[in-house]
Amino acid sequence: VDPTLDLFEEINRLKKEKNAIILAHYYQEPDIQDIADYIGDSLGLSREAANTDADIIVFAGVHFMAETAKMLSPQKKVLLPDLKAGCSLADSAPAPLFKKFLEKYPDHVVVSYVNCSAELKTLTDICCTSTNAVDVINSIPLDQKIIFAPDKNLGAYLIKKTGRDMVLWNGACMVHEIFSNEKITKLMLRHPHAEFIAHPECEEHILAKASYIGSTTGLLKYTQKSPAKEFIVATEAGILHQMQKASPDKVFIPAPPENNCACNECPYMRLNTLEKLYLCMKHELPEIILPDWVIQQGRVCIDRMLEISQ
Ligand code: 13P
Ligand code: SF4
């Protein structure tokens, strides 16, 4: 791409020309968030994908999110700037293995976190996101046994929160598993007035320290309404961009990871760049293509989720 090109201008031009909408997750790099038509959490993005009247959905997020958008709007063209933008959590539950696992629990209802492949969704009864997971679990009759996949950390949090005993699949998000308890403790001591807040994909010992636990939207809203002036935030650092924009007078500190060489940026989310966004809009590639049976069977669990969390 010509380095003198004004990518913001070009992307805005292509948006109008092609009647395209850019949906971006909070974990995208700040430039992408700034050019997006809608920025949100997984639930908000699904709703937006289901309701848009644009011809093209450009999904600035990861593969499972773009697949969900395709399932909800199959007649639309759904583009993802980089097809390699996957998800360690979705990868931790390959559909063939999960299918075998389900054979051991034939009388269980299957609840899957939206962070899973489209194929896994075809094996799922009800989907959920971190925003509506508690409501989804609570909507299931008490005598009904439940399997929750793929995130064992969110699953453990939900067991605690709802009091329901669930069989958990052993998956996790690589970004939310790297936080250091010890370093967070030290940071909290150095910032005694800071509130520690966390995403429920974090491990239990990290969540135990948090004064608020919630989805990305939940965390963002919490920082706006809390009287605290300082926050230590245990989730992907991309969300800090919107937190800082919404509360310019407050201080946001990303929670430190265990390993000094690591950072809490999702390597998959960060594969998308402004340049790739521009190229994918220009060439209308890469496009998300799903077999018809996957769209039909996979969207049932998403529709159920959207009905529950109206
Ligand atoms: P939410 O934005 O729905 O909280 O999801 C977080 C996440 O891990 C997305 O990959
Ligand atoms: Fe997947 Fe974790 Fe990245 Fe979200 S932050 S896309 S759950 S690897």
pLDDT digits (tens, 9 = 90+) for 94-134: 999 999 999 999 999 999 999 999 999 999 999 999 999 99
- Atom 2 (ligand 1) nearest CA: 41
Task: Say if 205 falls within a structural domain.
Answer: yes
- Rounded to the nearest 5 percent, the helix, strand and coil shares of the chain are 45, 15, 40
Atom number in ligand 2 closest to CA 267: 3
Residues 95 and 81 in one domain: no
Which bound ligand lies closest to the C-alpha atom of 88?
Answer: 2
Are 202 and 234 in contact, with CB atoms under 8 Å apart?
Answer: yes
280 marked ligand binding residue:
no
pLDDT, tens digit, for every residue of 21-34?
999 999 999 999 99
Is 204 found in the same domain as 135? Answer: no
pLDDT tens profile 124-144: 999 999 999 999 999 999 999
Could you list the residue range(s) of the whole structural domain that residue 238 is in?
181-254
Specify whether the CB–CB gap between 172 and 152 falls below 8 A. yes
Residue range 254-289, pLDDT digits in tens:
999 998 877 899 999 999 999 999 999 999 999 999
First to last CA, the chain: 43
Confidence of residue 223 (pLDDT cuts 50, 70, 90): very high
94 and 121 in a single domain? The answer is yes
262 belongs to a structural domain: no
| CA separation for the pair 249, 57 (Å, rounded) | 34
Pocket, ligand 1, Cβ cutoff 6 A: 26, 41-42, 115, 129-131, 173, 201, 215-216
- Mean confidence (pLDDT) of the chain: 97
Q: Which residues, in sequence order, are CB contacts of 201 under 8 Å at separation 6+?
A: 89, 130, 151, 153, 154, 172, 173, 175, 176, 235
Asked if the peptide bond before residue 286 counts as cis, ω within 30 degrees of 0, the response is yes
With a cut of 0.90, is the ipTM above it?
yes
Place of tokens 């800082």: 244
Q: Whose CA is nearest to atom 7 of ligand 2?
A: 173
Length of the chain in residues, anyone? Answer: 310
In this prediction, residues 48-64 reach a mean pLDDT of 97
Same domain, 25 and 163: no
Reading across the β-sheet that carries 251-254, which strands appear in turn? Answer: 212-213, 195-198, 230-234, 251-254
Q: Are residues 93 and 169 in the same domain?
A: yes
Instruction: Give yes or no: residues 185 and 235 share one domain.
Output: yes
Closest CA to 43 of 135, 123, 107: 135
**3-class DSSP state of 119:** helix
What CATH code is carried by the domain that includes residue 76? 3.40.50.10800
The verdict on residue 259 lying in a domain is no
Residue-wise pLDDT for 141-180, tens only, equals 999 999 999 999 999 999 999 999 999 999 999 999 999 9
Question: Domain check: are 94 and 160 in the same one?
Answer: yes
Does residue 162 lie within any of the structural domains?
yes
- Within-domain flag for 264: no
**Core vs surface per residue 95-129: b (16+ CB within 10 A) or e:** beebeebbeeeeebbbbbbbbbbbbbbbbbbbbbb
**Is 98 found in the same domain as 80?**
no
Residue 146 has a CB neighbour count (10 Å cut-off) of: 23
30 Cα: distance to centroid of ligand 1 (angstroms)? 16
Closest by alpha carbon to 220, among 192, 258, 250, 184?
250
Containing 13, the helix (H) or strand (E) segment is helix 7-17
Same domain, 73 and 116: no
**Domain match, 69 and 94 both:** no
Q: Indicate whether 121 and 57 sit together in one domain.
A: no
Q: Is there a domain that residue 115 lies in?
A: yes
Confirm whether 263 is domain-assigned.
no
Residue range 65-69: mean pLDDT, rounded: 97
- Sole residue written with tokens 């159920």: 304
Counting from 1 in the atom list of ligand 2, the atom nearest the Cα of 201 is: 7
Our count of domains for the chain comes to: 3
Query: Does one domain contain both 100 and 53?
Result: no
Instruction: Answer yes or no: is 3 a known binding residue.
Output: no
**CA-nearest residue, atom 3 of ligand 2:** 266
Q: Does residue 275 lie within any of the structural domains? A: yes
